[in-house]
Amino acid sequence: MQKVRVYWNLHRKVWSVQDVKSGRVCDHLQHISLTDAKFVVRKGGQKRVREEGKKNVHAFAVGYVDDKYNVDNIRPRPISDIDWQRVTYNPYKHDYFMLGEDAVSKDWIGTIHMESMHHEHGVASRVYI
């Protein structure tokens, strides 16, 4: 399995997949799942967002592409024995990824599902653990 960094691409409205070793973007996907994954927020980038009011890539998920969920870029289907919970991140309001009103622990490692949702106002990102 390939270790990657995944972030929401504001311009393309898809998930950008970046190889951790090379730093190169290797794919753009509508949906992706990672295993042995964690969330990362780079404080310097977060500080710039808050000071300048302009978003930059400073928050992402890092993990291994899980091929059992990512067949032909088909939307992953949750496994019946797992309750998926939505995770959010707002750099203007929160210091880290949030699960409801609580921050996801910086030590948390698990499976992360990322998808794009089409609606009448465009495309939005959704993240679940």
- pLDDT tens-digit readout, 22-49: 999 999 999 999 999 999 999 999 999 9
Counting the structural domains of the chain, the total is 1
Query: In the prediction, which pLDDT does 122 show?
Result: 84
Q: How far is CA 74 from CA 33, 59, 63, 67, in A?
A: 11, 24, 19, 11
Instruction: Provide the domain limits for residue 49.
Output: 3-128
Q: What is the 3 state secondary structure string of the chain?
A: CCEEEEEEECCCCEEEEEECCCCCEEEEECEEEEEEEEEEECHHHHHHHHHHCCCCCCEEEEEEECCCCCHHHCCCCCCCCCCCCEEECCCCCCCCCEECCEECCCCCCEEEEEEEEEECCEEEEEEEC
Query: In the prediction, which pLDDT does 72 show?
Result: 52
In this prediction, residue 66 has a pLDDT band, given cuts at 50, 70 and 90, of confident
Higher-confidence position of 2 and 106: 106
In this prediction, residue 79 has a pLDDT band, given cuts at 50, 70 and 90, of very low
Indicate if the pLDDT at residue 83 is higher than 60. yes
Indicate if the pLDDT at residue 103 is higher than 80. yes
In this prediction, residue 65 has a pLDDT band, given cuts at 50, 70 and 90, of very high
Angstrom distance (rounded) from CA 100 to CA 86: 8
